[in-house]
């Protein structure tokens, strides 16, 4: 008998993404400027539990703490991309505001804005070189899916 995760995901499922940081306090200050909070129950001198969504968290771990969990050598995020992290905001304007705040707090811009009509995003590297994208997606596109949304938008623009 094969055991698998609950399908679909059970309502209380939580997601924890663990990333290594060189200076935990510096990273906490950076992400606090972007509006993220931290759960004090899971935050100490080696780790900070950053609240990203209702059941989604990023664990900022000192490199030493991260190494306790990782079984393979740790990659340097300034020279190798292992993952890209993306979070949504509520408007296009908020994408620009969060991105500007990240850059003002010491982050580095990856590239300019990407505008797909139904989705708008900007990307930056955090203080450790991890790649982040802040994005907004039209709620109808999120509900319907991008292709169905594009088709319905074309139908609405077609002459009657």
In sequence order, which ranges of the chain are alpha helices (DSSP H)? 24-33, 63-69, 92-104, 139-144, 146-157
Query: Is it the case that residue 95 has pLDDT exceeding 70?
Result: yes
Helices 92-104 & 24-33, crossing angle to 10 degrees?
A: 150
Range 76-83 average pLDDT: 90
Q: What is the pLDDT of residues 126-144, one digit of tens each?
A: 999 999 999 999 988 878 8
Query: Is it the case that residue 158 has pLDDT exceeding 80?
Result: no
Q: Provide the pLDDT for residue 17.
A: 96
Asked whether 138 and 90 are in contact (CB, 8 A), the reply is no
Where does the pLDDT of residue 28 fall: very low under 50, low under 70, confident under 90, or very high at 90 and above?
very high
Range 85-98 average pLDDT: 95
Q: Provide the pLDDT for residue 152.
A: 74
Model pTM greater than 0.75? Answer: yes
d(CA 29, CA 27): 5
Range 59-85 average pLDDT: 93
Burial of 80 (0-12, 13-18, 19+ CB in 10 A): exposed
């Amino acid at each position: 008998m094969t055991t698998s995760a609950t399908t679909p995901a059970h309502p209380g499922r939580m997601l924890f993404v663990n990333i290594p940081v060189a200076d935990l306090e510096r990273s906490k200050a950076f992400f606090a400027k972007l509006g993220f909070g931290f759960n004090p129950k899971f935050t100490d001198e080696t780790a900070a539990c950053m609240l990203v969504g209702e059941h989604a968290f990023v664990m900022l771990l000192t490199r030493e703490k991260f190494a306790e969990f990782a079984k393979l050598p740790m990659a340097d995020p300034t020279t190798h991309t292992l993952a890209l992290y993306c979070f949504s905001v509520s408007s296009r304007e908020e994408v620009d505001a969060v991105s500007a705040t990240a850059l003002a707090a010491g982050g580095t811009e990856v590239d300019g804005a990407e505008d797909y009509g139904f989705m708008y995003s900007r990307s930056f590297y955090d203080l450790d070189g991890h790649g982040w994208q802040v994005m907004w997606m039209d709620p109808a596109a999120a509900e319907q899916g991008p292709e169905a949304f594009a088709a319905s938008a074309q139908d609405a623009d077609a002459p009657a």
